[in-house]
A and B are shown apart, each in its own frame.
Chain A
């Protein structure tokens, strides 16, 4: 996973057209305002982070971007298309893939099968095709399996554990399979929910490098939720800070680090 050094964050917002944008998005559960009026955008081929204290609404925000929640107010647009009310599977088909904070692999499927499910939206075999198995379906099945193995190797999973059941894999490998499964859907935007949780510093560094590699080699745009400030500051071109569901700051790592509101959200008011 060696990579070319990333463009050094230089204060200017990343260039390129906007891939995903949200406009005044709020999510209200009963009386709880989980996300409040967040307007935000991700330029194409950028690496953007969302940070904030626990309970700030980061994962809720992710769930809205991927269609698991519908925003109470506001709109979300992906590549110019409104996806605020779109079903999660269709959003995946459009090109957004994600991983989960607590790993959600299909526990009793093998690593390869997990990644094959990731390609579901890119496959064509239906009920009749699956029963009759014409040559086209057989070829597709073979290709999908081969591609799944390639993707697993690409994320650094050694070939001898490709056929292990997901539940039997080591924690770090499960994280890798989850990323491979997300990549399998051929996304343009990859959402990573705390990808380095539970990793040691060395593994985190490898993953940071891998994110840059993904952008270079697969033309991906990456949005991540992350608590590890070393990772966030090292990889992000732009950081959005949420606190109590509201966006309190936004900018490049240097700006965000110096922002008194951010310091307050994390450490409490001074004096």
Chain B
């Protein structure tokens, strides 16, 4: 076998990732700088980041989280608070600026550089994940799903009603459905090309870099001490604890890491859409992200990437642009967009019936579903 072949064999994921990312990087050059296709790809990229985060929680560690939207919200509000004129009269209406772009530096309010905002989002969302996780993760199985669902809904209510909640100096927590806007555009040191009115390509490349980083983190975590502990906990909590895996700490780390990815993605989407509006954080979004990883294959990194891109495009392109008029042409009085969640549900149903392990399943899961792997739960003890 030649050296190249051997390298490809040993580093299959690295090679696949490099090829896919390079191919993706040249993609927007074939479209108009303001093409809606590029816009769709940017959204898809942000969803890939989110889905990979949720995959750590649900796919690796086996904790069914139905409130993932909470972390999207925290991430988006981080950029809303720290990169807009929301706190308009801080510092005597002069504003606080840290490495902010030229335009943002002239505005009142708090304006941090986007990279700092992302860092802050990781910290804030990571801590939020820990706080939500600490009481939740002592529960098992379905109870986790119920409690996280409630938390997701609580955060949404806070977002919607935040315009009635005063924090410091009479400032409101959120602007509710009015949205915090405008949010600063991304501003990298030495590059001021982020302007969604003229050119979407820099946003696309930015989200591609995020995807690359998140992919790297996912692969590395999966093949590590922590990744093995996550899978062990998913397979059999009692055995894992008996082998020295601290359950609460291990689950919390899964939860916080997944949360941080959601936060990064939320901060990016907040900045890209230039507004943070409460109705983005409805319960349905948690299910939307969950559907991506189920469609692609729980626990399978490539499957999740595929699932996220597919569902994102179905949501932003196929339903509203390609098939939207189908009901009308059949003489029915509605647009297809009103059915989007029905369509996602139908797709999940199809996958469950035809290919329960997902489109690109992980080796382990495929095994579990096709060969009935499982553990004997006859000693059903509650592990503290």
Contact = CB atoms under 8 A, between A and B. Distances in A.
Nearest to B218: A131
A89 B232 CA distance: 13
Interface in A222-256: none
Contacts of A87: 241, 246, 384
A102 B242 CA distance: 14
B244 A108 contact: no
Contacts of B235: 106-109
Interface string A82-96: 000001111011000
Contact of A165 (B232, B367, B374, B383): B367
Contacts of B240: 106, 117
B99 to A, nearest CB: 24
B231 interface: yes
Contacts of B371: 167
A120 B221 CA distance: 15
A56 to B, nearest CB: 15
A70 B236 CA distance: 20
Contacts of B253: 127
B246 A89 contact: yes
Contacts of A113: 228, 231
Interface in B233-274: 235-236, 238-247, 253, 257
Contacts of A22: none
Contacts of B97: none
A131 B381 contact: no
B328 interface: no
B378 interface: yes
Given A63-B379, A130-B220, A133-B220, A89 B241 contact: yes
A106 B242 contact: no
Contacts of A127: 221, 226, 253, 257
Given A63-B381, A68-B238, A106-B236, A116 B244 contact: no
Given A63-B379, A107-B235, A113-B228, A131 B217 contact: yes
A131 B373 contact: no
A77 interface: no
A116 B226 contact: no
Nearest to A167: B373
A121 to B, nearest CB: 3
A130 B228 contact: no
Nearest to B217: A131
Interface residues of B, number: 39
A92 to B, nearest CB: 4
Interface string A188-207: 00000000000000000000
A235 B381 CA distance: 30
B226 A126 contact: yes
A104 interface: yes
A153 interface: no
Contacts of A141: 224-225
Interface string B350-384: 00000000000000110110010111101101011
A51 interface: no
Contacts of B364: 108-109, 165
A100 B380 CA distance: 12
B242 A98 contact: yes
B303 interface: no
Contact of B381 (A69, A102, A109, A116): A69
A63 B232 CA distance: 19
B232 A117 contact: yes
Contacts of A130: 220-221, 224-227
B291 to A, nearest CB: 23
Contact of B244 (A106, A107, A118, A137): A118
Which 7 residue pairs across A and B have the least CB separation, nearest first? A121-B244, A130-B224, A108-B364, A92-B244, A104-B239, A102-B376, A106-B235
6 contacts: A104-B376, A106-B240, A118-B244, A120-B245, A125-B226, A141-B224
Given A107-B235, A113-B228, 13 more contacts: A59-B379, A68-B379, A104-B376, A106-B232, A106-B239, A107-B374, A108-B235, A108-B368, A121-B244, A125-B226, A133-B220, A144-B225, A182-B243
Interface of B: 217, 220-221, 224-229, 231-232, 235-236, 238-247, 253, 257, 364-365, 367-368, 371, 373-376, 378-379, 381, 383-384
